[in-house]
Chains A and B, each alone.
Chain A
């Protein structure tokens, strides 16, 4: 009996590949269930990987492997000289998917764009609250309701968006998953049948894969979209096998039950790399972990003191102890995969003697301080307490006494914002749209003091640079401004930049055409399996 079962399972796993001859099935062992299939309402990458990327497209798309937006459903666009009016020319003859539950009668037009974005910014829109608890986290987070004055249809294939103020990251925002374009025709037909909530369960889009079925917490099935406007996918079927445990995902990958998996255990990476049947990609994630000094309080108001302390932090030890090597020490406040990353900025070297001397020169003696450590594991900092202990150890060597404190997570987030916070707070950030503005202004701008700016750092020179970059549409010009801002940042050192964690993607040997996205997306549009 047992042998029979064994044989049966062996045969089963063999057939996945054998069956590939006539229909290529690509299995992705995803790490969690999608929250829903209407990407506008959610924020989790897991949800976007199962909805926005396979099923939908956006006006602009991120160029694979970069954080730069390029033409998507919009073939071209025009920005008015004051930077407030965006006119998009839509790609003609883009067909929506035909599914068991919907057959489109028309191609993509301006109405679909107005519907998709409009419902997220207008509370009076009939689709603003189409299911109980509907909310538009990202549209809100990116300030769309206040930013966008109007969206108008010029003709069937032209849409005009008017902003209340110039905002250069707007194009990148439109390439984000939440700005996916849905079919208004489909929504109307659901409305007519009184089944509005289906929009979040049975999705229809223009993307490379057509939704087939979702079995909760277990499997999502897609098939190739035969009418796709771009290059047709090379695989016929795409299956997400939801497997929340990383060790189990690895086991399935080894057993050939899936072709690619996200988020391996750091402990397994070494053996994955030495497995001849696997290949492993790695890249810095779009994140940063930092230790923010309170720059309004003595002696941390002096840049020399902050730099001295930065010199005493052994970042490599943190990377080893917390990430088992699966991270890189951070120099700039933005990750190296982001455009405008300034390679010429050098990190403060780990040098205890120099640090001691700098502190003495600044007249600081017998310093004791608090270091705040988050109570939870985050992608950019798996174990804050362990990192804080290493910092404590290092600071002790230069005569600085450290007390590590922590609060319950919600409380931590709240208290660390306070302007009169006592001590340096460890925290981090995962980027949203790949635009440097999303790090530099959001986390370090003057208007974020008392909020996201945990260093309470308001530097005129820095702030002017990033504010100017925000309203400049010219990419080269923006790049220059951000590069300069990073130089100012390093000179002033409001943070100790700790690390960028690595995103590691193990996959079967035969998989080709997978590009790792700096935004952490998993897209299978161009993936193929070798015979």
Chain B
């Protein structure tokens, strides 16, 4: 186990360095002068231009800039936003819980619906049930989620007015941010109705974000189940006269879950990409929207830092998935 961890880390470190080089060089490849854009129509004096360039460290050789940046990153200093002048890491931690909360809710929806759907489809293979479920899954898998989100807003927020249009909680609730997770904080606050308000704000965005992972998990569960169901020991168990529930619940499902867990892990990366669109549509104050806004504001240090942080998260998640896979399935340990 430890050996696996070391081997994975040995690959991860050069990858992370590569990621940092890419994130770093992006803003230096930009056409035009990022400093000049800050002043727009106003003409910037040459002294001021030089001063800001120096602040951004853009007046020194690239290699030195890079090692400075890397040194900063390793000590937790990702630099400051050009626009707000706040440290990037502070902004990241302020917004990250919102994205995590949304992603976890979406993942719960995806797993809670996707696995049963896949199991049912596999057990009733070829039936209308199977075809219907897999048909829906394929539609979900093909969904342009930015459009799906808009449709849900039109229907549930516009016409029916069941759910709020955007935000994380109704404005009437005000309580300190202890964890940054609105669901937990609203419970901690003890205010009546705060929790249900937080839930109703979460509902539409998490449905939208869950759509594609849900479809992928359902499809993956179905094919994993089919494979396991055709294996000898399951047939034996069946032949022995065990109830189908026991066969599926105890033997098949456990083995089928191995590839499904990998799929779930990989969907976390997909979710971060989906969060970019979902958060933009629902004005959800998370890191996806933060990145889009920064791209439009041309806030280069934030784009650079955000890319690096997000890549680091995805890499960490993948590492954990790998290790978990190794734990569940001893065969791949070496």
9-residue interface stretch from A72-80, A411-419, A488-496:
A411-419
Contacts of B285 in A (CB 8 A): 215-218, 242
Q: Is the CB of A132 within 8 A of B85?
A: yes
Q: Is the CB of A241 within 8 A of B171?
A: yes
Q: Is the CB of A255 within 8 A of B33?
A: no
Q: How many residues of B contact A (CB 8 A)?
A: 54
Closest residue of B by beta carbon distance from A252: B165
Known pairs A9-B164, A11-B193, A140-B48; A19 contacts B172 (CB<8 A): yes
Q: Is the CB of B167 within 8 A of A408?
A: no
9-residue interface stretch from B3-11, B197-205, B239-247, B319-327:
B197-205
Partner of A217, one of B34, B36, B171, B289: B289
Q: Is the CB of A13 within 8 A of B170?
A: yes
Decide if the interface of chain B is mainly helix, strand, loop or mixed: loop
Is the CB of B157 closer than 8 A to any CB of chain A?
yes
Q: Is the CB of A239 within 8 A of B171?
A: yes
Is the CB of B300 closer than 8 A to any CB of chain A?
no
Q: Is the CB of B197 within 8 A of A9?
A: yes
Q: Is the CB of B83 within 8 A of A5?
A: no
Is the CB of A451 closer than 8 A to any CB of chain B?
yes
Contacts of A448 in B (CB 8 A): 43
Instruction: Tell me, in angstroms, the Cα distance from A134 to B85 when the chains sit together.
Output: 7
Segment 173-207 of B: residues with Cβ below 8 Å from A = 174, 177, 193, 196-197, 199-200, 203
Segment 209-238 of B: residues with Cβ below 8 Å from A = none
Q: Is the CB of B283 within 8 A of A35?
A: no
9-residue interface stretch from B59-67, B86-94, B305-313:
B86-94
Instruction: Tell me, in angstroms, the Cα distance from A160 to B203 when the chains sit together.
Output: 59
For the complex formed, measure the closest distance between the CB of A156 and the CB atoms of chain B, giving whole angstroms: 33
Q: Is the CB of A251 within 8 A of B165?
A: yes
Q: Is the CB of B84 within 8 A of A244?
A: no
Is the CB of A427 closer than 8 A to any CB of chain B?
yes
Is the CB of B52 closer than 8 A to any CB of chain A?
yes
Instruction: Tell me, in angstroms, the Cα distance from A476 to B137 when the chains sit together.
Output: 74
Instruction: Tell me, in angstroms, the Cα distance from A290 to B162 when the chains sit together.
Output: 47
Known pairs A35-B84, A427-B41, A452-B43; A9 contacts B95 (CB<8 A): no
Is the CB of A433 closer than 8 A to any CB of chain B?
no
Interface string of A444-461 (1 = CB under 8 A from B): 000010011000000000
Q: How many residues of A contact B (CB 8 A)?
A: 61
For the complex formed, measure the closest distance between the CB of A308 and the CB atoms of chain B, giving whole angstroms: 27
Is the CB of B75 closer than 8 A to any CB of chain A?
no
Is the CB of B32 closer than 8 A to any CB of chain A?
yes
Q: Could you say which of B91, B95, B165 has the most chain A C-beta atoms within 10 Å of its C-beta?
A: B165
Contacts of A11 in B (CB 8 A): 193
Segment 279-305 of B: residues with Cβ below 8 Å from A = 283, 285, 289-290, 293
Instruction: Tell me, in angstroms, the Cα distance from A245 to B285 when the chains sit together.
Output: 13
Is the CB of A194 closer than 8 A to any CB of chain B?
no
For the complex formed, measure the closest distance between the CB of B155 and the CB atoms of chain A, giving whole angstroms: 12
Q: Is the CB of B42 within 8 A of A9?
A: no
For the complex formed, measure the closest distance between the CB of A245 and the CB atoms of chain B, giving whole angstroms: 6
Instruction: Tell me, in angstroms, the Cα distance from A219 to B87 when the chains sit together.
Output: 20
Q: Is the CB of A5 within 8 A of B172?
A: no
Contacts of B52 in A (CB 8 A): 135
Query: What are 9 A-B residue pairs whose CB atoms fall within 8 Å in the complex?
Result: A16-B172, A33-B84, A36-B85, A132-B79, A215-B177, A218-B167, A218-B285, A257-B165, A451-B43
Closest 10 A-B residue pairs measured CB to CB? Answer: A410-B32, A217-B285, A35-B84, A216-B94, A6-B162, A12-B170, A451-B43, A218-B285, A251-B165, A133-B85
Having A140-B45, A251-B165, A255-B165, one finds 11 other A-B pairs with CB under 8 Å, namely A9-B163, A36-B84, A132-B80, A137-B39, A215-B285, A218-B167, A244-B283, A251-B157, A378-B41, A408-B31, A410-B33
